[in-house]
C-alpha cells in the first residue's frame, strides 16, 4: 500500500515536471482535477493540489476554495469534478468555469475530503497563485508575504512568476522573496551564495533580519558570506540613516524657516524686535481652527479643503493684527529697538491671554486633511505627506517673498528703507507706509506659517512661545536683512539639530546648537549674511 | 571704603533715605514679627515677612539689571539665569543639610539621586555641605559665567539687540540643561524639601525673620555699592559707554573692560539675590531660568526707572505686589495687566516712575525760576506760558538719567 503511494507520488512529480509550470491550458487543468478525483488519501490529494498550484492559472482558485470549504464533489460515474451547493438536491457548477451544470442526486456523488494540513497546503498554493494574478498590487502583496515567511516550497511558483513579471519593482521584490526562500531551502551552496549576494545588495532592515537568522544557523563559507553581507547591509543602513537625518533636518528646517521668515522681514527691514511674532503664528493656527469648525458646520463635504481656505484668511487676520500693532504702538518707538522688544513682549502676553480667554487654555485639534495624512517610503526613508507638504510650502512662501522683495516696486522700497532709511525718505518713499505694510506682511506670513504648523503640533495659547526663541536664533544666525541668510540659517540649524540628536539626545542636542550659535555670534556679530555699511555702529 | 567714597561724592539724599529705611526694616520687622503678640495691631504676620523677603530679593535682582542696563546700556534678557544659578548653589547647600532626614534616609545622597539610582555623589556636589563653600559658589558661579560670556561677547563687539538675544539664548540653554535629569540638579522638580540652614529650621519664624533682615541688609549694601560705583569715575565711564560707545573707544578707553566689569558685578548681585530667595520660598527649579522670567525683571526695572538706583527697587516691589494681588483677586487678568504695563511703560513712561518724577521736579524747578525771572519786571501779567521742556534738555539737567538708546 505504502509502496503504491510512493510510486504514485513519484509519478505525479514526473507529471508536474513534464507539464511544467507554464502549462495552463484547460485540458491539462481538467486532467489534474481528475487526478484530484482519483486520489486516495490526503497525501495524494495534496500532491494534486500542489500540481494545480504549479499551473499558476487563476482559474484554479475557485475549485481550491471550494475544496477547502468542503464543497468539491466527484461524480461517481465519470469522475468529473463539480463545485456543489447542498440542498435537497445538489446544485452543480463546473469546477473550472463555474458554469451551471444542473442538479444531481447526493448518492451519485462523493465529497473530496479535506483536513487542516490540506487547507494549509491550499492556502500556500493560493498565496503563490496571486503571484501570477493580473493585479500588480496583489502580486506585490503576495511577494511581501513570501518575503516575510520564506518557504522553500514557493520557489517554483516564484520562478514562474519572475519569468512572467513585467513590473520592475514587483519583479525585484519577487527575486528578493525567492532569495529568502532559497536560504531556507536545501538547494546547493552556490545558489545560496547568490541569494546572500542579492539580499545584501538590497540593504534593507528586512534583508538584514533574514541574513542574521541565516547566519546563526549556517556554517563554513556560507556563514562568512552571510556575515560579509550583514556588514555590507549595515554600511548601507548607516548611509540611509544619515539620509533620514538629513530629511528630518530639512523638515525641522522648513518649520524654522516658516516661523522665522516673517521675523526676518520685520526685524530685518524695520529693526523691530517683534516678541509678539510667535503670537502671530498662534493667531494663524487659531484661524485655521475657526475656519475648520465653520466649514465643518456649514459644508462638511469640503472639510479637506478648509486648510486651503484658511491660508488667505490667516494671512489677512494676522496681517491686520500686525498693522494694528505697528500703527498703535511700534511707530512711536522707532529708533529705540530695545523698547520695541519690551512693548511687543507686552503685546504677546495680552494676545496669549486673550486667546486663552476666548478659546480656553486647552489644546484645540486641527485635523489633517486626507491629502496630508499617511506617508510613503523612498528606499529606506520614511516620509510623511504632511512633512513633505510643509517643506514644499515653506519653500513656496520663501520664493514668494523673494519675488516680492526683488521684483516688485514695494520690495524695492522695502529694501531701500532697510539700507538707508533717511536717504529713502529723502527720495520720496513714504517710510511710515512701507513700515506699516512691511510689518503687516511679516505678520501675515507668520499667520500662514501658523496654518502649516497647526498640522504638526498642538494648537494652544502657548504655541507661539515655543517658536519665538528658535526664530530669533535663525534670524540672528542667518543675518538680518537677507532672506537667503534666513533660508540657510533655518536649514543648517535644522539639520545640525537632527544630526546631534542621535548622539546627544534631543535636549542636549538643542543646547549644543544654542551654545554654537552664541559662539558663532562672537565670530560674526551680524550673522552669516551681514548687510555691509560704512557706519561705525551699523 | 564704600562709605568713604559715598562721603566724598556726597550721599544722595534719596539713597541715604532708602538705605536707612532698609536698615530700619531689617531691625524692626523681625522685632514686630517675633516680639509683638499676634493680636497686636503692630504685629507683622508671617506671610507678610515671607512675601516682602521675596520682594527684596527681586529688588536686588532688578538693581543688578539696572546696573548693566540703566548705566551701561547692556539689555540682558538672561539675568534670571544668574539669579537661578545663585539659587541653585544655595539649594545644593540646603539639600546637603537635609542629611539622612530625607524620604529615603540616605546620609550622603539627596532624595532625587536615590530615586534615580545614583550610586555616588557627582563631583560638583562636593563641598556644598559647607556653608562657606556654598556662599563662595553663589558668587563665583554666576560671576564666572558672566565674565566668560561678557568677555567673549563684548570683545567681539556684540551689542544691542544681538546681545539681548544671545543672553536670552543663554538662559534658554540653561533652562533646557537643568530640565535634564542626568545633569544632577533634580531635573524638573528642582531642589526642595529643605530642612535647615546653618543649623536653624528654615520654616521657623525666627529663621524667616533673619532671612528677611539679611535680604534687606544685602539690598542696602548693594544700593550703597551701586551708588558709589555710579558716582565714581568708573560710573561716568559706564554712562559714556551707554550713550556713545564708539566715541568712548576713540577717546582711548576700552569699553569692553568696563562692560565686562559691570556685567560680572551685576551677575554676582543677581546670584546673591537668588541665594537669599531660595531658602525663603523653599524651592528652586529650572523654571527660574525661563526667558519670560528674565524679561519680567526688565519690566520691573523699566517701570521703576532705569538709570536710577532706587527706581528698580521700587519697581520690583510694586510690580510683584501687584502680581500677588492680581493673581489672588483676578487671576485671568494678570497677564492683561502685565502686558498692558509693558506697553504703557515703554510708550508713556520711558524713564520709569522715578525718572518721570525727576523730570517733573526739574520742569517745575525750571518753571518756577522762569516765573520768578518773569515776575520780577512785570507783575500782574497773564498766566505765563509754560516753557516746553523736552525730555532731552530735562535729562541734561540730571546727569545720570537714562537716555533712549541711540538709533541703530
Note whether B179 contacts A: Cβ–Cβ < 8 A: yes
Cβ separation B169–A538 shorter than 8 A: no
Confidence band of A392 (pLDDT split at 50, 70, 90): very high
Domain range for A188 is 131-218
| Residue A475 CA: distances (Å) to CA of A150, A478, A480, B158 | 54, 5, 6, 15
B250: buried, middle or exposed (CB in 10 Å: 19+, 13-18, 0-12)? exposed
What pLDDT is stored for residue B400 in this prediction?
44
Domain end position, chosen among A69, A93, A121: A121
Contacts of B176 in chain A (CB under 8 A): 507, 510-511, 514
Same domain, A502 and A453: yes
What pLDDT is stored for residue A19 in this prediction?
43
Containing B209, the helix (H) or strand (E) segment is helix B205-231
Interface of B with A in 240-259 (CB under 8 A): 245-246
Contacts of A343 in chain B (CB under 8 A): 342-343, 346-347
pLDDT at A537 over 70: no
Contacts of A537 in chain B (CB under 8 A): 159, 245-246, 406, 408
Strands of A9-111, DSSP E: 72-75, 81-85, 90-94, 100-104, 109-111
A223 falls within a domain = no
The region of weakest confidence among A151-155, A358-362, B166-170 is A151-155
A227 falls within a domain = no
Cα–Cα distance measured from residue A110 to residue A45, given in angstroms and rounded to the nearest whole number: 14
Exposure string (b/e) for B39-66, b if CB count within 10 Å is 16 or more? eeeeebeeeebbbbbbbbbbbbbbbbbb
pLDDT at B9 over 60: no
Same domain, A213 and A247: no
Cβ separation A334–B406 shorter than 8 A: no
Residue with the bigger pLDDT between A479 and B126: it is: B126
Same domain, A399 and A481: yes
Same domain, A398 and A519: yes
* Pairing of β A100-104 and β A90-94: antiparallel
Containing B284, the helix (H) or strand (E) segment is strand B283-284
A235 falls within a domain = no
How many CA atoms lie less than 13 Å away from B37 in the CB half-sphere?
Answer: 2
DSSP A408: S
Note whether B299 contacts A: Cβ–Cβ < 8 A: yes
Same domain, A153 and A195: yes
What pLDDT is stored for residue A314 in this prediction?
95
DSSP B370: H
What pLDDT is stored for residue B93 in this prediction?
93
Residue with the bigger pLDDT between B382 and B146: it is: B146
Q: Which three cell numbers stand for residue A206?
A: 528586512
A408: buried, middle or exposed (CB in 10 Å: 19+, 13-18, 0-12)? exposed
Contacts of B286 in chain A (CB under 8 A): none
Contacts of A135 (CB under 8 A, 6+ apart): none
What pLDDT is stored for residue B10 in this prediction?
52
CB-closest option in B153, B176, B346 to A511: B176
Q: Which three cell numbers stand for residue A59?
A: 482559474
Containing B200, the helix (H) or strand (E) segment is strand B200-201
Residue with the bigger pLDDT between A321 and A383: it is: A321
Same domain, A378 and A404: yes
Cα–Cα distance measured from residue A510 to residue A27, given in angstroms and rounded to the nearest whole number: 72
What pLDDT is stored for residue B405 in this prediction?
44
Cα–Cα distance measured from residue B55 to residue B178, given in angstroms and rounded to the nearest whole number: 25
Same domain, A255 and A348: yes
Instruction: State the best of B165, B180, B323 to mutate against chain A, taking most chain A CBs within 10 Å.
Output: B165
What pLDDT is stored for residue A14 in this prediction?
45
Note whether B176 contacts A: Cβ–Cβ < 8 A: yes
Cβ separation B346–A538 shorter than 8 A: no
Cα–Cα distance measured from residue A460 to residue A537, given in angstroms and rounded to the nearest whole number: 40
Q: State the nearest Cα–Cα gap between B47 and chain A, in angstroms.
A: 29
Same domain, A7 and A53: yes
Note whether B341 contacts A: Cβ–Cβ < 8 A: yes
Instruction: State the best of A346, A358, A472, A504 to mutate against chain B, taking most chain B CBs within 10 Å.
Output: A346
Q: State the nearest Cα–Cα gap between B179 and chain A, in angstroms.
A: 9
A229 falls within a domain = no
pLDDT in tens, A240-279: 888 888 898 999 899 899 889 888 888 876 778 888 999 9
How many residue pairs from chains A and B have C-beta atoms closer than 8 A?
A: 142
Cα–Cα distance measured from residue A291 to residue A300, given in angstroms and rounded to the nearest whole number: 12
Share of chain A above pLDDT 90, in %: 20
Q: Which three cell numbers stand for residue A216?
A: 546563526
Give the orientation angle of helix B131-155 with respect to helix A506-523, to 10 degrees. 50
Confidence band of B349 (pLDDT split at 50, 70, 90): confident
A224 falls within a domain = no
Cβ separation B169–A342 shorter than 8 A: no
Same domain, A362 and A446: yes
A392 falls within a domain = yes
A462 falls within a domain = yes
Phi first, then psi, for residue A109 (nearest 5°) are: -120, 155
Exposure string (b/e) for A434-458, b if CB count within 10 Å is 16 or more? bbbbbbbbbbbbbbbbbbbbbbbee
Contacts of B406 in chain A (CB under 8 A): 335, 537
Domain end position, chosen among A98, A121, A144: A121
The region of weakest confidence among A81-95, A443-457, B54-68, B272-286 is A81-95
Contacts of B336 in chain A (CB under 8 A): 349-350, 353-354
DSSP B380: T
Containing A378, the helix (H) or strand (E) segment is strand A375-378
| Residue A135 CA: distances (Å) to CA of A22, A165, A171 | 19, 11, 13
What pLDDT is stored for residue B69 in this prediction?
94
What pLDDT is stored for residue A290 in this prediction?
94
* ipTM value > 0.85: no
Q: State the nearest Cα–Cα gap between B334 and chain A, in angstroms.
A: 9
Cα–Cα distance measured from residue B337 to residue B343, given in angstroms and rounded to the nearest whole number: 10
Nearest CA in chain A to B165: A472
DSSP B44: -
pLDDT at A56 over 80: no
Q: How far is CA A245 from the centre of its chain?
A: 15
Same domain, A413 and A304: yes
A531 falls within a domain = no
Note whether B347 contacts A: Cβ–Cβ < 8 A: yes
How many CA atoms lie less than 13 Å away from A58 in the CB half-sphere?
Answer: 8
pLDDT at A147 over 70: yes
Same domain, A72 and A136: no
Q: What average pLDDT does the structure give for chain A?
A: 82
Domain end position, chosen among A72, A89, A121: A121
Cβ separation A346–B350 shorter than 8 A: no
| Residue A477 CA: distances (Å) to CA of A126, A241, A260, A267, A501 | 61, 27, 11, 13, 20
Phi first, then psi, for residue B284 (nearest 5°) are: -140, 125
Q: Which three cell numbers stand for residue B299?
A: 519690566
CB-closest option in B159, B168, B347 to A343: B347
Note whether B74 contacts A: Cβ–Cβ < 8 A: no
pLDDT in tens, B108-150: 888 888 888 888 888 899 989 899 999 999 999 999 999 999 9
Contacts of B304 in chain A (CB under 8 A): none
Contacts of B251 in chain A (CB under 8 A): none
pLDDT at B1 over 60: no
Instruction: State the best of A475, A525, A530 to mutate against chain B, taking most chain B CBs within 10 Å.
Output: A525
Q: What average pLDDT does the structure give for chain B?
A: 86
Cβ separation A329–B347 shorter than 8 A: yes
Number of Cβ within 10 Å of residue A38's Cβ equals 12
DSSP A79: -
Q: State the nearest Cα–Cα gap between B96 and chain A, in angstroms.
A: 27
CB-closest option in B165, B339, B406 to A347: B339
What pLDDT is stored for residue B6 in this prediction?
54
Q: State the residue for C-alpha cell 554676582.
A: B268
Q: Which three cell numbers stand for residue A6?
A: 510512493
Contacts of A261 (CB under 8 A, 6+ apart): A394, A397, A398, A401, A445, A449, A483, A486, A490
Interface of B with A in 208-247 (CB under 8 A): 245-246
Following DSSP, what letter does each residue of A239-306 receive, concatenated? Answer: HHHHHHHHHHHHHHHHHHHHHHHHHHHHHHHH----TTHHHHHHHHHHHHHHHHHHHHHH-GGGGGGH
DSSP A115: -
pLDDT in tens, A317-334: 999 999 999 999 988 887
CB-closest option in A347, A353, A522 to B343: A347
Share of chain B above pLDDT 70, in %: 88
pLDDT at A6 over 70: no
| Structural contact between residues A139 and A162, judged by C-beta atoms closer than 8 angstroms | no
pLDDT in tens, A415-449: 888 778 888 999 999 988 888 999 999 999 999 99
CB-closest option in A336, A345, A352 to B342: A345
pLDDT in tens, A69-78: 778 888 877 7
Cα–Cα distance measured from residue B103 to residue B193, given in angstroms and rounded to the nearest whole number: 10
Contacts of B168 in chain A (CB under 8 A): 469, 472
Q: Taking residues B191-209, what's their average pLDDT?
A: 89
Contacts of A353 in chain B (CB under 8 A): 332, 335-336, 339
| Structural contact between residues B79 and B269, judged by C-beta atoms closer than 8 angstroms | no
Cα–Cα distance measured from residue A158 to residue A171, given in angstroms and rounded to the nearest whole number: 10
Q: Which three cell numbers stand for residue B287?
A: 523654571
Q: Tell which residue, A165, A452, A537, has the closest CA to residue B159.
A: A537
Number of domains in chain A: 3
Same domain, A360 and A432: yes
Amino acid at each position: 500500500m505504502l509502496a503504491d503511494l510512493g510510486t504514485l507520488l513519484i509519478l505525479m512529480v514526473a507529471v508536474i515536471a513534464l507539464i511544467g509550470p507554464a502549462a495552463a491550458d484547460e485540458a491539462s487543468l481538467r486532467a489534474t482535477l481528475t487526478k484530484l478525483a482519483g486520489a486516495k488519501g490526503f497525501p495524494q490529494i495534496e500532491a494534486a493540489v500542489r500540481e494545480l498550484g504549479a499551473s499558476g492559472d487563476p482559474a484554479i482558485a475557485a475549485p481550491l476554495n471550494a475544496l477547502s470549504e468542503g464543497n468539491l464533489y466527484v461524480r461517481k460515474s465519470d469522475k468529473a469534478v463539480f463545485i456543489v451547493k447542498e440542498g435537497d438536491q445538489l446544485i452543480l457548477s463546473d469546477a473550472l468555469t463555474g458554469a451551471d451544470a444542473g442538479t444531481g442526486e447526493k448518492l451519485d456523488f462523493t465529497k473530496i475530503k479535506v483536513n487542516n494540513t490540506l487547507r494549509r497546503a491550499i492556502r500556500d498554493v493560493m498565496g503563490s497563485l496571486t503571484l501570477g494574478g493580473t493585479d500588480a498590487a496583489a502580486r506585490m502583496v503576495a511577494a511581501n508575504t513570501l518575503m516575510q515567511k520564506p518557504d522553500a516550497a514557493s520557489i517554483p511558483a516564484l520562478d514562474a512568476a519572475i519569468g512572467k513579471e513585467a513590473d520592475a519593482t514587483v519583479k525585484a521584490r519577487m527575486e528578493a522573496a525567492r532569495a529568502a526562500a532559497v536560504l531556507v531551502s536545501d538547494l546547493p551552496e552556490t545558489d545560496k551564495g547568490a541569494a546572500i549576494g542579492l539580499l545584501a545588495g538590497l540593504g534593507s532592515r528586512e534583508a538584514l533580519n533574514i541574513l542574521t537568522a541565516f547566519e546563526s544557523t549556517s556554517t563554513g563559507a556560507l556563514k562568512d558570506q552571510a556575515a560579509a553581507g550583514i556588514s555590507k547591509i549595515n554600511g548601507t543602513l548607516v548611509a540611509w540613516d544619515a539620509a533620514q537625518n538629513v530629511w528630518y533636518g530639512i523638515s525641522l528646517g522648513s518649520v524654522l524657516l516658516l516661523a522665522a521668515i516673517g521675523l526676518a522681514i520685520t526685524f530685518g527691514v524695520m529693526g523691530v524686535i517683534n516678541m509678539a511674532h510667535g503670537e502671530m503664528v498662534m493667531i494663524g493656527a487659531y484661524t485655521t481652527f475657526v475656519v475648520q469648525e465653520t466649514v465643518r458646520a456649514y459644508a462638511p463635504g469640503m472639510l479637506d479643503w478648509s486648510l486651503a481656505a484658511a491660508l488667505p484668511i490667516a494671512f489677512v487676520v494676522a496681517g491686520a493684527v500686525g498693522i494694528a500693532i505697528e500703527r498703535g504702538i511700534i511707530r512711536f518707538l522707532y529708533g529705540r529697538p530695545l523698547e520695541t522688544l519690551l512693548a511687543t513682549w507686552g503685546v504677546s502676553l495680552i494676545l496669549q491671554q486673550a486667546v486663552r480667554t476666548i478659546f480656553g487654555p486647552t489644546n484645540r485639534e486641527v485635523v489633517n486633511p486626507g491629502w496630508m495624512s499617511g506617508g510613503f517610503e523612498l528606499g529606506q526613508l520614511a516620509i510623511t505627506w504632511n512633512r513633505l507638504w510643509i517643506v514644499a510650502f515653506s519653500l513656496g512662501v520663501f520664493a514668494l517673498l523673494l519675488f516680492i522683495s526683488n521684483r516688485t516696486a514695494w520690495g524695492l522700497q522695502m529694501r531701500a528703507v532697510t539700507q538707508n532709511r533717511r536717504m529713502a525718505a529723502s527720495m520720496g518713499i513714504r517710510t511710515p507706509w512701507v513700515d506699516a505694510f512691511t510689518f503687516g506682511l511679516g505678520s501675515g506670513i507668520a499667520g500662514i506659517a501658523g496654518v502649516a504648523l497647526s498640522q504638526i503640533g498642538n494648537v494652544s495659547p502657548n504655541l507661539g512661545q515655543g517658536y519665538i526663541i528658535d526664530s530669533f536664533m535663525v534670524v540672528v544666525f542667518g543675518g538680518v536683512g537677507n532672506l537667503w541668510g534666513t533660508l540657510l540659517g533655518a536649514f543648517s540649524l535644522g539639520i545640525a539639530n537632527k544630526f546631534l540628536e542621535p548622539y546627544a539626545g534631543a535636549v542636549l542636542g538643542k543646547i549644543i546648537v544654542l551654545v554654537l550659535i552664541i559662539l558663532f555670534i562672537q565670530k560674526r556679530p551680524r550673522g552669516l549674511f551681514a548687510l555691509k555699511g560704512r557706519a561705525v555702529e551699523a | 571704603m564704600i562709605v568713604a567714597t559715598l562721603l566724598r561724592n556726597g550721599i544722595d539724599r534719596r539713597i541715604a533715605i532708602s538705605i536707612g529705611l532698609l536698615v530700619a526694616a531689617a531691625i524692626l520687622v523681625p522685632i514686630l514679627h517675633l516680639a509683638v503678640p499676634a493680636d497686636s495691631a503692630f504685629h507683622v504676620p508671617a506671610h507678610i515677612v515671607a512675601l516682602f523677603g521675596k520682594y527684596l530679593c527681586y529688588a536686588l535682582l532688578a538693581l543688578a539689571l539696572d546696573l548693566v542696563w540703566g548705566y551701561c546700556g547692556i539689555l540682558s534678557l538672561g539675568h534670571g539665569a544668574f539669579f537661578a544659578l545663585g539659587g541653585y548653589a544655595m539649594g545644593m547647600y540646603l539639600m546637603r543639610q537635609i542629611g539622612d532626614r530625607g524620604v529615603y534616609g540616605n546620609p550622603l545622597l539627596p532624595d532625587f539621586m536615590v530615586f534615580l539610582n545614583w550610586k555616588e555623589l557627582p563631583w560638583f556636589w562636593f563641598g556644598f555641605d559647607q556653608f562657606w563653600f556654598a556662599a563662595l559658589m553663589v558668587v563665583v558661579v554666576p560671576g564666572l559665567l558672566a565674565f566668560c560670556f561678557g568677555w567673549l561677547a563684548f570683545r567681539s563687539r556684540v551689542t544691542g539687540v544681538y546681545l539681548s538675544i544671545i543672553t536670552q539664548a543663554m538662559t534658554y540653554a540653561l533652562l533646557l540643561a537643568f530640565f535634564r535629569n542626568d545633569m544632577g540638579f533634580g531635573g524638573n522638580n528642582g531642589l526642595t524639601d529643605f530642612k535647615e540652614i546653618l543649623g536653624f529650621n528654615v520654616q521657623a519664624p525666627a529663621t524667616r525673620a533673619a532671612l528677611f533682615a539679611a535680604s534687606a541688609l544685602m539690598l542696602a549694601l548693594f544700593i550703597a555699592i551701586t551708588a558709589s560705583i555710579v558716582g565714581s569715575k568708573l560710573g561716568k565711564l559706564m554712562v559714556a559707554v551707554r550713550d556713545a560707545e564708539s566715541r568712548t573707544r576713540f577717546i582711548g578707553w576700552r569699553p569692553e573692560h568696563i562692560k565686562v566689569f559691570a556685567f560680572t558685578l551685576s551677575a554676582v548681585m543677581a546670584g546673591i539675590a537668588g541665594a537669599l530667595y531660595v531658602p525663603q520660598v523653599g524651592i528652586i527649579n529650572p523654571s527660574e531660568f525661563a526667558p519670560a522670567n528674565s524679561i519680567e525683571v526688565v519690566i520691573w526695572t523699566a517701570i521703576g526707572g532705569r538709570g536710577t538706583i532706587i527706581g528698580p527697587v521700587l519697581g520690583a516691589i510694586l510690580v510683584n505686589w501687584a502680581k500677588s494681588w492680581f493673581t489672588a483677586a483676578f487671576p485671568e487678568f494678570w497677564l492683561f495687566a502685565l502686558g498692558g504695563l509693558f506697553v504703557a511703560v515703554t510708550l508713556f513712561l520711558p524713564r520709569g516712575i522715578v525718572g518721570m518724577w525727576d523730570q517733573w521736579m526739574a520742569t517745575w524747578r525750571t518753571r518756577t525760576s522762569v516765573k520768578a525771572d518773569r515776575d520780577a519786571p512785570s507783575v500782574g501779567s497773564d498766566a505765563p506760558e509754560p516753557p516746553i521742556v523736552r525730555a532731552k534738555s530735562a535729562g541734561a539737567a540730571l546727569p545720570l538719567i537714562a537716555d533712549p538708546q541711540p538709533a541703530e
